[in-house]
Amino acid sequence: MNQRSPLLPVTAAMVVGVLGVGAALAVGDLVAAFVDPESSPFLAVGNTAIDLTPLPLKDFAVRTFGTYDKLVLLAGMGVFLLVAAAAAGVLSRHRPLPGTVLAVLLGLLGVVAVLVRPNLTPVAVVAPVASLVAGVAVFRGLHRLAGRADADGPSRSGRRAFLLGSLGTVVGIGLTGAGGRLLVGRVDVEGSRAKVTQMLAEHQQPTVPTGADFASDGTPTFLTPNDKFYRVDTALSVPQLRAEDWTLRVHGLVERELNLTFADIMAMNLVTRTITMTCVSNEVGGPYVSTANFTGVLLRELLAEAGVKADADQVLSSSVDGYSAGSPVSSVLDPRRDAMLAVGMNGQALPPEHGFPARLVVPGIYGYASATKWLKDIELTTFAAKKQYWVPRGYGERAPIKTEARIDMPQGLQSLPDGKVVVAGIAWAQTKGIAKVELQMDGGPWQEADLAVTVNAETWRMWRKVYDLKPGTHTVICRATDITGYTQTRDRVGPIPDGATGWHTILFTTS
C-alpha cells in the first residue's frame, strides 16, 4: 500500500510558492545583467505588456497615473506574481506538481517575451531559461523540506531544516537580486554625462528675453527645468548607456550610409535651439508640454551628409529599447524649423530618462512620431513601406501638433479673494506661433488676453488677463489663434488618434 505524501500546512505551502517565484526572478535579473538588462524576464514581460496594451487602457493609465504609469504596472505585476505564487503553493500542499507547472509556465512566458522583443538577440533567452530552472529547483527543493518537516511530527529537526532552507533562500534571493542590480549599475552613466556636460559648457545658451513668461502670475517658467520636463515613453526601465559606447547608423534611401560615434557628432556644428515639445497623450488642459534649450546637430545638416533620395518621405528613428518613430522628411529637412539630433538639454547632457546619450527633437510634431530617445538608428524610408511603433496601434501617421491653450491660474475649483483676479496660462502652435489668446468669463463676450514676449515660433507663449470679480462661482474658457489665422476648435476630442482638441474650461470661486 503506497503511503500518501504529507499535506503541507497552508503557511508553509505559501512560503514555498513565494520563495520559488522570488528565486526565479532574482536569478533571471542576475543572468540578464551579463547578457542584456532588458532580457530580465520581469522587464521583458512588462515591456511586452506595454506593447500589447489596448489604446483605451493605455490612455487611461497615462491620464490617471501620469508619469507613474510604469510604476503602477510594475507594482501590479508584483502583486499578481505574489498572489499567484502563494496560490500555487497552496494548490501544491499534497504534491509539488501544480507549483512546478506554474513555474514552468511563468518561465515559458518570460522566454516568449524575450524572443518577441525587437531589441533583443536570441542569446538573451538565456536569462528566462535560467529563471525557469531556478524557480523549479527552489520550489521543489523547499517543498521536499516542508514535506519532511510535516512528516517528522513532534520532531523539530525537519522543521529546523525547512526554516533554515527558507531563510537561506531569502538570503540567496537578496544577494542575487542585489548582485544583478550592482552589475547593471556598473555602467557609469553619470560619469559619461559629466564629461558630455563639460564639453557642452563652451556652447552658449540662448538668453530668454525679459517678459517671456508670467510665472509670478501662475504660468510655468519659460524654460522647464530638466527634472520638471514631462516624460511619457514606453520604456519600463531607463536604458543605461554611455556616450563612449554609443553609435548611430543612418541608412535606407540615402546615397551614403553613415555609421557615427558620439565623438563624430560632437565634432559637427553644434547649435542650441529653444523648443517646446508636446505629447499626444495630453488631454485638453493637460500637463504634457514643456520647453527647453536643446543642443545638438541640425538633422537637415546631418542627413545632407548621407544624401536623402527623392523617394524617401519618412525618417524612421529607432531606440535601443525597440521603440520607433516616423517623422515626415519634409518636416525634418524644412529650413524654417530646427529638427535636431540633440545631445544636450538646458546646458547639460541629456538626463538618462530623456534619452542620454542622444535623442531626436522635431518641432511641430507630437513626440510619439518625432522624439525618439536613446537613439541608435535612422532609416530613410517611406510611410507606405514601414510603420512606426504607434501607427499599427491606432495612432495617426503624420502627427502635426494642434493649436491649443491652457489655463494655469486659477486652478480648477480654487477659491480666491474677490476683486482683482489674474487669469493666466500658456498657448502653443509650434512652427506657426501664437497670434492671440481670448478668454470668456461667465458666458460674457470673448476678450483678448495680454501676451508675453515672443521667443520663437517653435515655443509656447504665455498669456494673462486681469478681471475684477464679485463674490461667487465663475467659469472661464480660453482659446488660441495661431499666426495663420486658425482659431482652435471647441469640439472636444480625446488624444487618440492624433491629439486632443477643445477649449480648456476652469470653474473657480471668489469670496
Distance CA 15, CA 85 (A): 9
pLDDT of residue 56: 80
Which amino acid would we find at residue 340? M
Where do the H-state alpha helices sit in 267-364?
Answer: 299-306, 329-333
- List Cα–Cα distances, 395 to 326, 399, 511, in angstroms: 12, 8, 45
Distance CA 91, CA 226 (A): 50
The better pLDDT of the pair 204, 246 is held by: 246
Residue range 137-169, pLDDT digits in tens: 999 999 988 888 765 555 567 788 888 889 999
Q: Does domain 192-393 have CATH number 3.40.640.10?
A: no
Residue range 327-366, pLDDT digits in tens: 999 999 999 999 999 999 999 999 999 999 999 999 999 9
pLDDT of residue 2: 44
Distance CA 121, CA 318 (A): 16
Range of lowest pLDDT (6-15, 109-118, 175-184): 175-184
Residue whose grid cell is 470668456: 440
Residue whose grid cell is 483678448: 448
pLDDT of residue 60: 81
The better pLDDT of the pair 158, 130 is held by: 130
**In 3D, which of 102, 172, 139 has the Cα closest to residue 8?**
139
User: What mean pLDDT is reported for the chain?
Assistant: 92
- List Cα–Cα distances, 399 to 327, 358, 368, in angstroms: 8, 22, 8
Residue range 439-450, pLDDT digits in tens: 999 999 999 999
Res 72 pLDDT > 90:
no
- Give the CA dihedral 503, 283, 351, 216, nearest 10 degrees: 40
Report residue 1's pLDDT band, with 50, 70 and 90 as the boundaries: very low
pLDDT of residue 153: 56
Q: Could you tell me the strand order of the sheet in which 434-441 lies?
A: 415-416, 504-510, 472-482, 434-441, 446-448
Give residue limits of the domains in the chain: 10-184, 192-393, 404-510
* Fold classified for 404-510: Immunoglobulin-like (2.60.40)
- List Cα–Cα distances, 240 to 38, 183, 237, 321, 322, in angstroms: 10, 11, 9, 11, 14
Residue range 454-468, pLDDT digits in tens: 999 999 999 999 999
Q: Report, as an integer, the average pLDDT of 281-299.
A: 96
Residue range 393-420, pLDDT digits in tens: 899 999 999 999 999 999 999 999 999 9
Q: Report, as an integer, the average pLDDT of 182-187.
A: 77
Report residue 307's pLDDT band, with 50, 70 and 90 as the boundaries: very high
Residue range 19-31, pLDDT digits in tens: 999 999 999 999 9
pTM of whole model > 0.85?
A: yes
pLDDT of residue 10: 92
pLDDT of residue 5: 59
Residue range 16-63, pLDDT digits in tens: 999 999 999 999 999 998 988 889 999 999 888 888 888 788 778 877
